[in-house]
Structure 1
Amino acid sequence: MAPRLNFQAVILGAGSSSRMGCPKQLLEVDGITMLDRTISAVLQAGLTRPVLVLGAHRSKILQSAALASCCRIIVNEQYETGQASSLIAGVNGLHSSCDAAIFLLCDQPLLTGGLIGELVAEFDRIRPDILYPLFRKQRGNPVILAKSTFPRLLQARGDRGARFLFNAPDLTIHPCEVDDEAVIIDVDTPEEYRALVNSRTIV
């Protein structure tokens, strides 16, 4: 049996939250900021010292996010150019021993350590180039990328993120079916935030 791969987590939190009108990283769900919820889920999955990419509002985030001190902080000065710059910053912040990285958005507050662990275990078992969660035929996040894809990821530009890798014919891409809608729920607007908070208070 092959030894377990060395996984690291990259949390993308550099965006300006322009559609939200305030730093969504610090919006609370069940009394905990969305960023702290993400960091907590990563730590619960056994992925220590995640890479946290910050850009806009970084001083306020570092002051307010209780678990940011558990992360390796990477500052993306080019955050306004799109998500690709944060992916590149995150990859450059990974340890050289990293075999695969799971890339998480900071606006998916319902992700749990158990779900992240499930994705990591499936990647370790299958060992594809790319793994993504699939909930009722909808592709979600977070995505796990093998180290072999990092050189291509460093060529990403603009706001398309890593999506261009899904079109590479030579890469093995594995959908991991999950029974948790958390992988398709993110929060970009005040309306989405209110809907999420209201759904948590319904008995």
Structure 2
Amino acid sequence: MLKLGSCTALEHAVRCFFRAGVRDVRVVAGYRAETVAEAVKPLGVRVVVNQYFDKGMYSSVQAGVRTLEPEVRAFFLLPADYPLVRKSTVGKMLECFHTGSKGIVYPVFQGRRGHPPLISARYAGDIINSFPAGGLRELLGKYEHDALGVPVSDEAVLLDMDTPEDYEVLLQYLKNRAVPTLEECRSILRECRVSELVWKHSHRVAGLALLLVKHLKKAGAALDEDLVLAGALLHDVARSQPDHAGAGARLLEARGYPLVAKVVAAHMDIDSSEDMPLSEPEVVFLADKMIKDQSMIPIPERFAVMLEMYKDDRQACEAVLRRLKQALLIKRKVEKLLGRPLESVCRAKTGI
């Protein structure tokens, strides 16, 4: 019943499944079962009381599985101390279960299995009637031939709160949850199978954008460093698709990152004004226009190449000139804040 932000950990876990379209959610309660039942009543979940909770966590697994009806095809098992799993993770696991042939599906982040597993109901009887010393992990280990690991860009599948230190990590993760972490960004890039060129370009842009943000924040700019990093790393996540800025934004919106989606959506075309405070999308737009492939080049030179490339396409040239105008406007805004030429900042080594 521990609080994580405005909700309890249990509420976070329950709502994850509801948001992913799982309507039948059951909470197994042992110690202080009445208190738990009262707390989750507004959520509309079914509470299963485990009278043998003193025998350990596996007894709660068994209590929950015993309540499954014959028509149930599969079930998730999520310990309450893994409360911040994303709905996109649950949705991806369901898709893999329904379209594949494996009976046990695990979420995998950075090569490590996490929670919750999705388990075929054909293993329900074995779970109920077995008492493995190593609990559920030992039992499921017998069925590795029927297991599938699904790569997800969700670090929360590994984040529990067994200790006070773990709890503090979760609190910080929740605070920054609207923006993917560095490793989550890299996981998204891998999952979307970006090319090596896009990978290197995105990291180069991110390194430059971070350098700019650090200097701009010292100069008094109110910028979110994590948002700039994520937006820069993911700006070309859909590079192989038509309208890749829009496609990337839609992809990130669907994954629960609307703030990052706005940055990505604006990295090709942006409406800037010298009268408005400098924004995160402007920083990423500028950094991207200063990097060609992996090399930093002057903005006019970058656009001169593009104008030459599209010299026979009037509409394309107009779009290039519009972007050049915006890049130079943002450059002036940055230099006004810094009080010095942009090039003097960019001489420093950049990287992440």
Tell me, yes or no, whether TM beats 0.5. Answer: yes
Other structure's SS at 1:53 match: strand
Say whether the 8 Å CA contact 2:58–2:135 is kept in structure 1: yes
Which residue in 2 is equivalent to 1:89? 63
Q: Which of 9, 13, 21 is the equivalent residue of 1:38?
A: 13
CA distance in 1, matches of 2:86, 2:143: 32
Other structure's SS at 2:78 match: strand
Which residue in 1 is equivalent to 2:93? 119
For residues 132-162 of structure 1, what are the alpha-carbon distances to aligned partners after superposition, in whole Å with 9 as ceiling and x for unaligned? 1111111111001111111111133267332
Write out aligned runs for 1:1-203 (5 A).
Answer: 26-65=1-40, 67-68=42-43, 70-157=44-131, 160-168=134-142, 171-201=145-175
Q: CA deviation at 1:105?
A: 1.3
Q: CA deviation at 1:173?
A: 0.9
Other structure's SS at 2:135 match: coil
Amino acid in structure 2 at the alignment position of 1:58:
A
Other structure's SS at 1:154 match: helix
- Cα distance change, pair 33–126 in 1 and its aligned pair in 2 (3 A): same
Q: What TM-score, normalized to structure 2? A: 0.47
RMSD value, Cα: 2.0
Q: What TM-score, normalized to structure 1? A: 0.79
Q: Based on CA coordinates, which of the two structures has the bigger radius of gyration?
A: 2
Say whether the 8 Å CA contact 1:135–1:179 is kept in structure 2: yes
Other structure's SS at 1:104 match: coil
Structure 1: runs of 5+ lacking an equivalent? 1-25
CA distance in 1, matches of 2:127, 2:145: 13
Say whether the 8 Å CA contact 2:132–2:138 is kept in structure 1: no
Give 1 or 2: higher helix fraction: 2
Amino acid in structure 1 at the alignment position of 2:80:
C
CA distance in 1, matches of 2:151, 2:78: 17
**Structure 1 runs (4+) greater than 4 angstroms displaced:** none
Say whether the 8 Å CA contact 2:159–2:170 is kept in structure 1: no
Structure 2: runs of 5+ lacking an equivalent? 177-223, 225-352
Q: CA deviation at 1:113?
A: 1.9
Other structure's SS at 2:108 match: strand
| Bigger relative contact order (CA 8 A; separation at least 6) | 1
Other structure's SS at 1:111 match: coil
Q: Mean Cα displacement is larger for which, 164-173 or 99-108?
A: 164-173
Other structure's SS at 1:187 match: coil
For residues 48-76 of structure 1, what are the alpha-carbon distances to aligned partners after superposition, in whole Å with 9 as ceiling and x for unaligned? 131211101222222333545x1121100
